[in-house]
C-alpha cells in the first residue's frame, strides 16, 4: 500500500516536505481544508512560525478537525514548529498560543535562540538503524527542544555536544513523531521514510 500523507500547507516548509515524502515512497498532498485532511492516512506539520500556523489553522477552520483527528490516532510528524504544535505543553510561547496536542511532552519554543543562533550537527537517531555509522545531519533554525517527556514517550535523539549537549530533539509517542530540526532541508530522507513506515504499518 502506498499511503497518502498530507502536509499542512498554511505556512512554512511545505514544498520541501512534499518533495521528501514523494521521494520516500508516499503520495504527498497539500492540506488546507478539512475535506483534504479527511482524505489522508497521515499528516506532516512543517517547520515555520508556530504562532502564525496556530492563527491560520483557525482562519482556515482546520484547528478543531486536526485536533480531533490527532486525538483519534491519525499518525503525525512535526518538524520544528510542527513539534511545538504537537506538544501537549509549551513554555516560551505567546500568551494566546495554543497547541493541537498529541505528544505528552513539554516543549520550549525558540530554545536554541534566535535566527542567528541557527546551527547544524550530526545525530544518532533511534529507529534509524544506520545512524550510528552515518549520522543524521540535523539543521536547527530557531528551534525548540523538549524539556519533559511523559512515560509513554520515547526519546529518539539528543544533541551530543556543545552548550546544548543532552537536550532532547527527537521523540515518538505511538504513531506521532517530532523533531526539533528540519530533515526536509538537509536532503536526508531517513526520517521521512520512518514516518512513511509508521503510516504504512498503521494501515
Q: Cell digits for 121?
A: 550537527
Q: Cell digits for 131?
A: 545512524
pLDDT of 51:
85
Spans of all domains in the chain: 4-202
Catalytic pick among 16, 17, 182, 192: 182
CA end-to-end span of the chain, whole Å?
8
pLDDT of 121:
87
Q: Is 132 a catalytic residue?
A: no
Residues facing residue 8 across a β-bridge: 31
Quick: pLDDT tens for 152-188. 999 999 998 777 788 999 999 999 999 999 999 888 8
pLDDT of 165:
81
Answer whether CATH 3.30.750.80 is correct for domain 4-202: no
Catalytic pick among 80, 132, 148, 201: 80
Catalytic pick among 16, 17, 173, 184: 184
Stated pTM of the model = 0.93
Q: Is 80 a catalytic residue?
A: yes
How far lies 59's CA from each of 32, 62, 63, 81, in Å?
11, 8, 9, 18
Can you list the residues of the chain whose pLDDT is less than 70? 93-95, 111-117
Amino acid at each position: 500500500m502506498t499511503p497518502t500523507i498530507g502536509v499542512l500547507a498554511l505556512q512554512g516548509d511545505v514544498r520541501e516536505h512534499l518533495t521528501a515524502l514523494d521521494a520516500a515512497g508516499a503520495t504527498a498532498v497539500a492540506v488546507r481544508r478539512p475535506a483534504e485532511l479527511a482524505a489522508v492516512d497521515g499528516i506532516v506539520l512543517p517547520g515555520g512560525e508556530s504562532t502564525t500556523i496556530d492563527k491560520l489553522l483557525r482562519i482556515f477552520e482546520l484547528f478543531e478537525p486536526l485536533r480531533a483527528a490527532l486525538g483519534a490516532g491519525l499518525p503525525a510528524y512535526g518538524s520544528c514548529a510542527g513539534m511545538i504544535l504537537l506538544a501537549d505543553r509549551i513554555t516560551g510561547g505567546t500568551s494566546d498560543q495554543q497547541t493541537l496536542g498529541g505528544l505528552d511532552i513539554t516543549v520550549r519554543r525558540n530554545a536554541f535562540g534566535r535566527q542567528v543562533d541557527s546551527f547544524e550537527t550530526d545525530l544518532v537517531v533511534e529507529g534509524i538503524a544506520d545512524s550510528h555509522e552515518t549520522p543524521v545531519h540535523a539543521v536547527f533554525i530557531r528551534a525548540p527542544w523538549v524539556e519533559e517527556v511523559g512515560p509513554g514517550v520515547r526519546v529518539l535523539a539528543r544533541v551530543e555536544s556543545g552548550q546544548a549537549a543532552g537536550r532532547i530533539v527527537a521523540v515518538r509517542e505511538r504513531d506521532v513523531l517530532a523533531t526539533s530540526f528540519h530533515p526536509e532541508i538537509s536532503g536526508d530522507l531517513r526520517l521521512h521514510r520512518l514516518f512513511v513506515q509508521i503510516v504504512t504499518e498503521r494501515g
